[in-house]
A and B are shown apart, each in its own frame.
Chain A
Amino acid sequence: MISPTSPILETRNLNIYYGDKKVVRNVSLKVPKRTVTALIGPSGCGKSTILRTFNRMNDFIDSFRHEGEVLFEGTDVYRSKTDVTEFRRRVGMVFQKPNPFTSSIAKNITWGPQINGYKGDLNELVETCLRKAALWDEVKDKLNDSGLALSGGQQQRLCIARAIAMDPEVILMDEPCSALDPQSTLAIEDLIHDLKQNYTIVIVTHNMQQAARVSEYTAFMYNGDLIEFDNTSKIFSQPSEKLTKDYIVGRFG
């Protein structure tokens, strides 16, 4: 069952519409702190949509509409008086396709903190974040090179370092390895394992084995509904719902 500590992220009776199309139906989900939670399900089930409501990245889609509540540390992110940019500082995101800025590697890391008024040592920040992202040794001699000069796996780790630089409470990952080769994928899964000590991680993945490897809790979604949410070990060995079982076994998806 779900851990008793208060959830850092939560949705309550969340319905999401793109125009007239309902893509998320009445989902109530609690994400525990300092854990890795995976959202799995077939294409179009709504898992990425839910992920993107946590940091309001769905705002950029014109037809987006929602009902219900989306809570971060108990505050509804949509109805609070706090500026959305403040939420986005504390809930970071890594995207499916690595998207480092075209500026230097160092600038990638320092830009976010700088525009938010960071007062510490920037060089130290760069080193700390790159170490945490297991990228320091590979790039320490070329911090002024463009972020785009790195390989795909390295770019994604740079994006993770960039997210970490903001010192968020949560890191949202939207299929972070789907554009990467198997070695980079493993490197990032190891990274997630290290990161979860300090950050809450929510990862959307269509790779079930990945979910089984990295996460402690798993939510299975199908066609906009949350079918089952439980410890990962239980979901993958003894799921309560038949639909979950069929998906795990590979009957569809």
Chain B
Amino acid sequence: MTSRSQKWAPISPLQRWREKLVLKSLLICASVSVFTTLGIIYILLEESAFFFSHVSPLEFFFTTRWAPLFEPRSFGILPLVSGTLLISVGALFVALPLGLGIAIYTAEYAQGWWQKVLKPTLEILAGIPSVVYGYFALTQVTPLLQKIFPNVEVFNAASASIVIAIMVLPTIASICDDSLRAVPKAVRDGAYALGTRRSEVVAHIVVPSALSGILASFILAFSRAVGETMAVTLAAGATPQLTLNPFLGVQAMTAYIAQVSLGDVAHGSVEYQSIFAVGLVLFLMTLAMNLLSQFIVKRYARKYE
């Protein structure tokens, strides 16, 4: 037999080095995500530190007037937080029953062709940018609300809540659908064998089994609602006020940040730094909710043996 393994050279050091180079470059690509996370945390903390050297945290977290750009200045964040929460809770009020209802329908009742219509619909709704929803809120939803309730202001929280509900609807519907489908057929069959009707099986057996996933979807949707900017800026306005009335205009945390960025605020001034302080609160809120949602899924997800 002719000499083997002389037809090609053994692995050269150059080849080995090239392989290592590729590995290192791709590792750097992957590490960018770590640097991004650290970067976000660093920027938020650094600028907030400056901010809190001028404004006391007590005033920030516990007073109820937010007026950074007017005299007399006041930096109580509670109106912004309440604005965000009012809008987001309102959004979930609408999105929860709708989303869960759609999910129940698609997971338990739907025939093929209707699903073929619903699935793209939800995907399209999810893919529409939030500016568009802001536009829709301002030009269609608010006038509609004003026709029904005459005391609705031009900028109001309800309008923002409604369009944000539409935005997070696909998220809720899709996660709940997955969770419902994950309940094994055997569980359903056991219930049917007792002579129960489909709605009863779904309401009393299937939904409670899928509860952890359903709950997680709600929290995730809430987190997204809290982080939403364009729709609330356009629909809810720029008047920070501590109120539970959805027909009034409020300013969300994200809307404040946008407002300052759009204006001419000097870099390094307290007003400029205030957006980072608000951003920090926003970041921590959404982070906490995302972690909570993951925790719920891990801890309470039913294991079907």
Contacts and interface: CB of A to CB of B under 8 A. Distances in A.
A86 B10 contact: yes
Interface string A80-121: 000101100110000000000000000000000100111110
B11 A83 contact: yes
Interface in A166-184: 167, 169
Contacts of A113: 7-8
Interface string B10-25: 1110011000000000
Contacts of B16: 83
Contact of A167 (B4, B9, B10, B15): B4
Interface of B is mostly: loop
B1 interface: yes
A169 B8 contact: no
A119 B7 contact: yes
A198 interface: yes
B5 interface: yes
Contacts of A116: 8, 11
A26 B16 CA distance: 36
Contacts of B7: 113, 118-120, 167
Nearest to B4: A167
Categorize the interface residue count of chain A: 10 to 19
Nearest to B1: A198
A40 B165 CA distance: 64
The majority secondary structure among interface residues of chain A is: loop
A200 to B, nearest CB: 12
B8 A90 contact: no
Nearest to B15: A117
Nearest to B11: A83
B108 to A, nearest CB: 38
Contacts of B11: 83, 85-86, 116
Contacts of A167: 4-5, 7
A81 B144 CA distance: 77
Contact of A119 (B5, B8, B15): B8
Interface in B1-52: 1, 4-5, 7-12, 15-16
Contacts of A169: 4
B143 to A, nearest CB: 57
Contacts of B10: 86
A195 to B, nearest CB: 12
A117 B8 contact: yes
Interface in A50-94: 83, 85-86, 89-90
Contacts of B5: 89-90, 167
Interface in B107-131: none
Nearest to A89: B5
Contacts of A119: 7-8
A9 B8 CA distance: 23
Interface string A143-169: 000000000000000000000000101
Contacts of A118: 7-8
A86 B5 CA distance: 10
Contacts of A120: 7
A118 B7 CA distance: 6
Contacts of A90: 4-5
Contacts of B9: 117
Contacts of B15: 117
Nearest to A198: B1
A42 to B, nearest CB: 30
A198 B4 CA distance: 11
B17 to A, nearest CB: 13
Contacts of A198: 1
A208 to B, nearest CB: 32
Nearest to B7: A120
A26 B104 CA distance: 58
Interface in A10-56: none
A125 B141 CA distance: 72
A115 to B, nearest CB: 9
Nearest to A167: B4
A165 to B, nearest CB: 10
A120 B7 CA distance: 7
B13 to A, nearest CB: 11
A119 B5 CA distance: 12
Given A86-B11, A113-B8, A120-B7, 4 more contacts: A117-B8, A117-B9, A117-B15, A198-B1
Interface of A: 83, 85-86, 89-90, 113, 116-120, 167, 169, 198
Interface of B: 1, 4-5, 7-12, 15-16
Shortest Cβ-Cβ A-B pairs, 10 listed: A117-B8, A118-B8, A116-B8, A117-B9, A167-B4, A120-B7, A83-B11, A198-B1, A86-B10, A119-B8
17 contacts: A83-B11, A83-B16, A85-B11, A86-B10, A86-B11, A89-B5, A90-B4, A90-B5, A113-B7, A113-B8, A116-B8, A117-B8, A118-B8, A119-B7, A119-B8, A169-B4, A198-B1
